Structure 1
Amino acid sequence: MTFSITTLPEQRIAGLSTVLPTPKSYAEMAEMSKVKTDYLEKLAQADLAAIATDQHFYGVNYNANGDQNYLAGVKVIKLPAGYTDFTVAAGQYAKFTTKAASRNAIDQFIGQSYGELAQSADYQVAGNFNLEVVDSFIDGKTAEFSIYMPVTGK
């Protein structure tokens, strides 16, 4: 598994957010993946594309108040009423890419990506969130899934 380093500008993601169950086993990981799938389906039905600043759909895994959260949304300039937002800080990110598969397989890929980054001689994780490009779960045509993890040099 390889990754590339890219610089992202600050970006605001707005959409639907939920607190995730904390998996303690493989079976519980499937439950967490199902919650994410449900929120991606809700995103597909929400009319947020009209206010998006690009054509992509995003997922943000983040910690808030001691809870693991998931936000499914689009990139926006202004927060629309009734939605939650998360601001992705400008900076360096490790980008991992794979062919889209089931949400459960993607969540396993995310875990493997963190393991790969932990073994890097040059980079380390620099935040408590990650940004997913989830077009494959919304449009059904895109095969690629990407995840961005904030990093800093060691």
Structure 2
Amino acid sequence: MAQPISPSSNDAECDSGFALLEILAALAIVALVAAMSLPHLSQASRAMALRVRSAEITALLRHDRNTAMEQGRPVLSAVDPQRRTVFSGASGRKVVLPDSTVMRIESSGRLQAAGRRGFVFQADGRALGGVLSIEGTNVTYRIAVNPLTSGVTLSEVH
């Protein structure tokens, strides 16, 4: 009987554990990549959460505007920058921003003279408008209320 030319090809003892070693190396690489990308994912999720909250505030203001025109009465959307909260005058709903954000409001001078901060939507479609700035870690959102049309717009400031 002829001896094989390459006896190691039939030797099963040399290959034992090699597949396990390959799997462990692959898992180590995946764990390393996941650990490196985790801080970026959490930062992106915070930015997305701030964008969602800004959109909620925009929807709240639009709801108050529509309620003012439907019911024929003024509606105040109150803003508390210290507590980072916006209150709906129509529904009583509120939106609270995370502690890491800064809220600034530039509203109508007549409204500030009355000791209130926020936006008043009139029954005739006008508003005591202004601008609400929401500043996060890496992004700022601007919600503007047009005094003539009471249009509410959300924009991202770079």
Q: Normalised by the size of structure 2, how large is the TM-score?
A: 0.27
Higher helix share: 2
More strand, by proportion: 1
TM-score, with normalisation over the residues of structure 1? 0.27
Larger radius of gyration: 2
Greater RCO between the two (CA within 8 Å, min separation 6)? Answer: 1
